[in-house]
Amino acid sequence: MSNKAKTNGNGDDQDRYQGKVKWFSEKRGYGFIQIDDEEVFIHRSTLLAFGIAKLQNDDIVTDALIDSERGRIVETLFGVERPPIPPELMADTPAEGEVIADVKFFHNHKGYGFIVADEVDEDIFIHFRVLEKNGFSTLEQGQRLLVGLEDGERGKQVTTIRIYTGDDDMTEDVVEEPPKKKAKKSSAKTRKDDKPSDEA
């Protein structure tokens, strides 16, 4: 089945195609779109012309293609749809055995990254296979997660992942001390003209 889309009928006779983002590297400035059985190159400049700076894995894009010396590439981007995260992959409180963690970085084209958690001293390695197993295709830097961990040969390993949607305000965990009572001032006053008597 072809992913060729219909033209919009406004005089633009470019053929439009729909595909899924296989990966896009913000650092390298390019990536690839899977359209049918073909991987099509897309450059950052095409995204900027559309008004965005990056794509995520599994984004659905509508585009127009042109031929180049290295095959077809995306010439024009017409639309980007981001699939919603299923509710079962999100939670606002950690379950038993889960810890809150932050994504330090994740390289889509290399397939791995690292996360950090307050309960663990060292950075925690995370591989794309773990993401796939838990229903994810990518992670974003700074993203808040709920992860299950286990001990491996090279330290902690991630076993489960969910998106953390809880409140980051930790002030509720701070116990406020009651205000201290002010000491009462003595009512006795010494007048400047009160002097010790010389009389015996």
pLDDT at position 174, please? 42
Q: Are 125 and 158 in the same domain?
A: yes
pLDDT score of 47 more than 70: yes
- In this prediction the pTM is 0.59
- Evaluate if residue 88 carries a pLDDT over 80: yes
Q: Taking Cα atoms as reference points, which of 96, 109, 38 lies closest to residue 70?
A: 38
Give 59's contacts (C-beta < 8 A, 6+ positions apart): 20, 21, 80, 81, 82, 83
Report the domain count for the chain.
2
Domain-embedded: residue 192:
no
- 150 with 98, same domain: the answer is yes
Rounded to 5, what percent of the chain is helix, strand, coil? 10, 40, 50
| Domain encompassing residue 158 | 87-166
Contacts of residue 125, Cβ cutoff 8 Å, sequence gap at least 6 = 112, 113, 114, 154, 155, 157, 158
pLDDT of residue 9: 46
The DSSP letter of residue 1 is: -
Determine, yes or no, domain membership for 3: no
